[in-house]
């Protein structure tokens, strides 16, 4: 267990600590994860998450062919220099594969630094800004009644914030709704080719206001409600949705329209006061700079795994704080418990933290491979006091669940046109 780690003294060493080896693992305990393990010449090691959903092996190849050979023999404590070396030195900057590879290394190096200092990561960042990290849970169902029943169950467990997603009547499948699957691992871990799912904006609008009207009537005014549109709407349709849902006082609307054109959010902003959140597909501060600086959003949802690691997330959080934007890191099950631990440390430290997405501790297989002592109670997560990230990785257990190709679905309009994701 990470909590049992014993600090190894470097006193008396005449040389600099060096990276001896870097291992990259791809395993599928229900869904695929890419795990990076950086090992020093003293045996101290750190862990990082480098998962890109549906493109995992691209990151594995990038790491093994283009990153690992360049880092052997380097000082693992030179975190900033290594980050800049991998980012600026590659010429080909940014992009999800590059930034996930950098993130995996970066997390592992911070994990090592914390272990060497015998301090948890949040202390290395500057200490606590809060006692616990507010989480929002998921509630989804085939009907409005089913969705709200599940939301009430989450509230009964102590969650103060719940994301509501409901199947759209008239569509065979609605993304974000489990259907007959027991969890997200069963739903999303068995897609050897991308399934193609229909989308209808008209059918979506026929039910969405009723969902939140009933939610407020049944759940009351105090619970914080959220909703993810998964970028299915145009900017003007998003503006309409924002106006429609204003009476129901949502904490935020997520990914109302595509992320590439940042001016989209300005148009939405002009028509509604509902808080807006975006960013889970962004992979650098440059992707969200204008949105933050122009105050077009209220929450930035970049994830440590996808945006360049802990080093990059610190910069995004500090920059966002200047413009009244809060952090709300992506937390879907396509991120491993290593990333979740990194987020809990970051969220504990970040002054302008808002809320953390949470889909549970993972299935039994995940919990066998990744061990940690993060406590979740009454809708809050409490950071580990173990040195570094406070997570360990069982290599032998991971070998029992080899990588299995699986994809996210593709969205099409009812006439067959490929649509926004």
Active site residues: 175, 230
Number of C-beta neighbours around residue 418 at 10 A: 10
Q: Which long-range contacts (CB under 8 A, 24 or more apart) does 230-234 make?
A: 230/175, 230/176, 230/255, 230/421, 231/255, 231/256, 231/257, 231/258, 231/259, 231/420, 231/421, 232/199, 232/201, 232/204, 232/411, 232/419, 232/420, 233/201, 233/257
* CA 197 to each of CA 91, 166, 289: distance values in angstroms, whole numbers, following the listed order: 37, 15, 32
Nearest to 143 by CA among 135, 151, 134: 151
Instruction: Number of helices (H) and strands (E) in the chain: give both, helices first.
Output: 15, 17
User: Strands (DSSP E) along 272-393, which ranges?
Assistant: 276-278, 299-300, 326-327, 356-357, 370-372, 375-377, 380-382, 391-393
DSSP 166-177: EPPTT-S--TT-
Cα 192 from Cα 263, distance rounded (Å):
36
DSSP 126: T
Half-sphere exposure of 403 (CA within 13 A, CB side): 16
Phi-psi region of 191 (alpha: psi -120 to 50; beta: other; left: phi over 0): beta
Cα 150 from Cα 138, distance rounded (Å):
9
Q: Quickly list H helices, 294-336.
A: 309-321
**What is the chain's length?**
421
Cα 19 from Cα 375, distance rounded (Å):
32
* CA 62 to each of CA 20, 104, 263: distance values in angstroms, whole numbers, following the listed order: 19, 11, 32
Can you read off the two tokens belonging to residue 300?
Answer: 């930035």
Q: Name 410's Cβ contacts closer than 8 Å, sequence gap at least 6.
A: 194, 195, 196, 197, 418, 421
């Amino acid at each position: 267990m990470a909590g049992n780690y014993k600090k190894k003294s470097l006193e008396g060493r005449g040389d600099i600590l060096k990276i001896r080896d870097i291992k990259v693992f791809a395993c599928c305990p229900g869904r695929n994860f890419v795990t990076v393990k950086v090992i020093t010449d003293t045996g101290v090691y750190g862990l990082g998450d480098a998962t890109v959903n549906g493109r995992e092996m691209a990151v594995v190849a990038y790491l093994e062919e283009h990153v690992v050979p360049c880092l052997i023999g380097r000082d693992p404590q030179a975190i900033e220099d290594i980050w800049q070396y991998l980012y600026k030195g590659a010429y080909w900057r940014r992009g999800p594969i590059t930034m996930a590879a950098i993130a995996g290394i970066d997390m592992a190096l911070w994990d090592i630094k914390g272990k060497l200092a015998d301090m948890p990561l949040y202390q290395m960042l500057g200490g606590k800004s809060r006692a616990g990290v507010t989480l929002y849970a998921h509630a989804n169902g085939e009907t409005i009644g089913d969705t709200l029943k599940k939301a009430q169950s989450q509230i009964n467990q102590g969650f103060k914030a719940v994301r509501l997603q409901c199947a759209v009547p008239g569509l065979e499948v609605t993304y974000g709704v489990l259907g007959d699957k027991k969890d997200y691992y069963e739903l999303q871990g068995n897609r050897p080719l991308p399934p193609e799912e229909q989308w209808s904006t008209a059918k979506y609008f026929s039910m969405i206001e009723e969902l939140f009207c009933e939610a407020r009537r049944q759940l009351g005014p105090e619970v914080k409600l959220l909703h993810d549109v998964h970028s299915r709407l145009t900017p003007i349709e998003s503006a309409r949705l924002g106006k429609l849902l204003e009476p129901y006082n949502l904490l935020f609307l997520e990914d109302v329209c595509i992320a590439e054109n940042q001016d989209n959010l300005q148009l939405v902003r002009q028509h509604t006061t509902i808080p807006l959140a975006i960013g889970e597909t962004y992979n650098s501060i440059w992707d969200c700079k204008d949105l933050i600086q122009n105050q077009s959003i209220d929450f930035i949802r970049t994830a440590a795994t996808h945006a360049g690691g802990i080093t990059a997330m610190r910069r995004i959080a500090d920059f966002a704080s200047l413009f009244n934007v809060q952090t709300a890191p992506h937390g879907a099950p396509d991120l491993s418990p290593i990333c979740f631990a990194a987020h809990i440390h970051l969220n504990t430290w970040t002054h302008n933290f808002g809320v953390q997405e949470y889909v549970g501790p993972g299935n039994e297989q995940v919990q066998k491979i990744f061990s940690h002592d993060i406590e979740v109670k009454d809708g809050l997560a409490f950071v580990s006091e173990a040195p570094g990230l406070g997570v360990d990785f069982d290599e032998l257990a991971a070998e029992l669940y080899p990588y299995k190709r699986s994809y996210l679905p593709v969205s099409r309009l009812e006439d067959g046109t490929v649509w926004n994701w």
